[in-house]
A and B are shown apart, each in its own frame.
Chain A
């Protein structure tokens, strides 16, 4: 059991390293890469924005009921923005993507393997790994930070709406309070760490899809493993990355 776990970790690591290495070597499959940007970015936009908005509303409702007791409702906007920039935005976006994009990648590639489409690509002298895996890894790595920014923005917007309905706080004052005391270091490192989440989601999902060879059962396993393993690895990686951010930006750790 343990041997099999380490074996899988080793194989995923080598798979991810190969994807990283091949990303810098031509041909770059620009057309297919654009399709992946569209599929991952545009296809996930509404989901991310809707989830961010709803979370923003709920977060404000919860924090308001607590902060009212201390007369600190003026701090709600900055709590909201810091929570979204530091953790909620990056982590929830990554988990949503693991569910939507990860499952899709795993199932699609496993289906292509089961129906010999990947073999067909190889017989046409096209490098299937570069075409199918590298393009997905690049697109997911680049799109995750962008989607995180939209999640953050939607969360703050949801928070404003909730707070506006509760206390009639104006837009300008809300935004002023939301960004008062928020440094670039609160925003940029946590947003950029989602590029690593994107790389992990695509690598793990593509690994389970591309390397399966079990027909329709392989499709089911690839879709399930892509979501479960990606989500778990994202949460574990988040712990390490937050520690790294605290190490590099000690002010964040206070």
Chain B
């Protein structure tokens, strides 16, 4: 059962089946297969340019696979029409590496924008309350009227997370939550993600280079190397793997 008492769909929340993706003749993902169970947190690790962010964009349908299947809650992303794609996305949240806040809107307007459009059942007062509650959750309750340009890098990340959470998504995709942040601020973002995981039981897929943060949050690691899935499984299990290359990615030293 999900946290709101509704039965979860059968099967994994997200499944990659032999997924291939390339750009301008260069293969970025080569027959990648893995799955993420409901409520599970998966951290995708690997060197820059190995297709980690592409993997996230395939999950939410910003990119489409060249071959193989990307299944989200049982729906094949490649076969969905626009309406179907929007319905699947309605259950997902996405935190961009750059936060990607709408720079002509205040923070409150950034959060209210999807609520106005997608949650017709809410009055203006209820939307305002939902926005305030979400900002409070990420510690930005006093910054709602600021423009994104007036926020620091860490605050922008938290604001991006708030926008991703405001629609109460069942699946949260996070791209490099700690990039460009100092260790303390990165730790605060990790704490927020931990809170989302434990309190909301949200399925999470996090792309990161920060193995320290990844070990705190992840139930499983997926390690990508040169477009291929080098390893997949719980951190404790992967720690026992003697592969030197794998250990370079997942070792905290």
Interface residues, chain A, CB within 8 Å of chain B? 27, 31, 115-117, 119-127
- A117 touching B92, Cβ below 8 Å: no
Known contacts A119-B96, A120-B96: A125-B102 contact under CB 8 Å = no
- B86 touching A127, Cβ below 8 Å: yes
What residues of chain A lie closer than 8 Å to B184, measured between beta carbons? none
Known contacts A115-B103, A119-B62, A120-B102: A125-B96 contact under CB 8 Å = no
Q: Does any Cβ of A come within 8 Å of B100's Cβ?
A: yes
Q: Does any Cβ of A come within 8 Å of B90's Cβ?
A: yes
22 contacts between A and B (CB under 8 A): A31-B116, A115-B100, A116-B98, A116-B100, A119-B57, A119-B100, A120-B96, A123-B62, A123-B92, A123-B164, A124-B89, A124-B113, A124-B163, A124-B167, A125-B86, A125-B87, A125-B89, A125-B90, A125-B114, A125-B167, A126-B114, A127-B82
Q: Does any Cβ of A come within 8 Å of B60's Cβ?
A: yes
Bound-state CA distance A115–B101 (Å) is 9
- A123 touching B60, Cβ below 8 Å: yes
What is the distance, in angstroms, from B60's C-beta to the closest C-beta of chain A?
5
- B114 touching A117, Cβ below 8 Å: no
Residue of A nearest to B105 (CB): A117
- B103 touching A125, Cβ below 8 Å: no
Q: A123-B62, A123-B94 known; 16 other A-B pairs, CB under 8 Å? A: A27-B117, A115-B98, A117-B100, A119-B96, A120-B163, A121-B102, A122-B62, A123-B89, A124-B89, A124-B114, A125-B86, A125-B89, A125-B90, A125-B118, A125-B167, A127-B86
What is the distance, in angstroms, from A28's C-beta to the closest C-beta of chain B?
12
What residues of chain B lie closer than 8 Å to A123, measured between beta carbons? 60, 62, 89, 92-94, 164
What is the distance, in angstroms, from B83's C-beta to the closest C-beta of chain A?
10
CB proximity to A under 8 Å, residues B107-128: 113-114, 116-118
What is the distance, in angstroms, from A108's C-beta to the closest C-beta of chain B?
8
CB proximity to A under 8 Å, residues B49-87: 57, 60-62, 82, 86-87
Q: CB within 8 A of A126: which of B61, B62, B101, B113?
A: B113
Bound-state CA distance A122–B113 (Å) is 12
